[in-house]
Amino acid sequence: MERGETLIGSVLITIEEIQFINGGNIEQAIREHETVRKSLGFGSETLMVSQYCEYYDLDQDEIFDFLNGIRFEPNESVLARYGLSQKSDIDWENEDLTEFTPNETYEEYLTTLNEEGGINGCSTNNQ
């Protein structure tokens, strides 16, 4: 499958990125990551974004665009969109993130994206 969007950074998807996509908690994302890997027959602990997209029949370009936005846009508007800030008061070594839920799910992201004219002005409505 040929794709138009280029993924910035690693081709691997993290559990935290799955959590942002599906809007669930970290345990759900861990199970989802493991489920996809097991169903594809991998003994590895890693999962590529393209494999994740194919398994769930997600539009790879849209997922790449979403991930690029949360991976490499450390500006105030992007951080604010996800309820984050550049200055963190969190003690990461002792913080329990098991109950963390992102402010925006992938579905909400798509709705916002469609309202703003879609990726590069194209609608993400696949119907």
Q: Which two tokens stand for residue 107?
A: 């579905």
Give the pLDDT of residue 58: 92
- Is the residue at 8 inside a domain? no
What confidence tens digit (pLDDT) does each residue in 46-79 have? Answer: 899 999 999 999 999 999 988 988 886 555 555 5
Question: What residues in the chain have per-residue pLDDT under 70?
Answer: 1-5, 72-102, 117-127
Write down the mean pLDDT value for the chain. Answer: 75
Cβ of 126: how many Cβ atoms within 10 Å? 8
Q: Give the chain's domain count.
A: 1
- Is the residue at 106 inside a domain? yes
Structural domain of residue 41, as residue ranges? 15-83+101-115
- Is the residue at 23 inside a domain? yes
- Is the residue at 24 inside a domain? yes
Q: CA 96, CA 100: separation in Å to the nearest integer?
A: 8
- Is the residue at 88 inside a domain? no
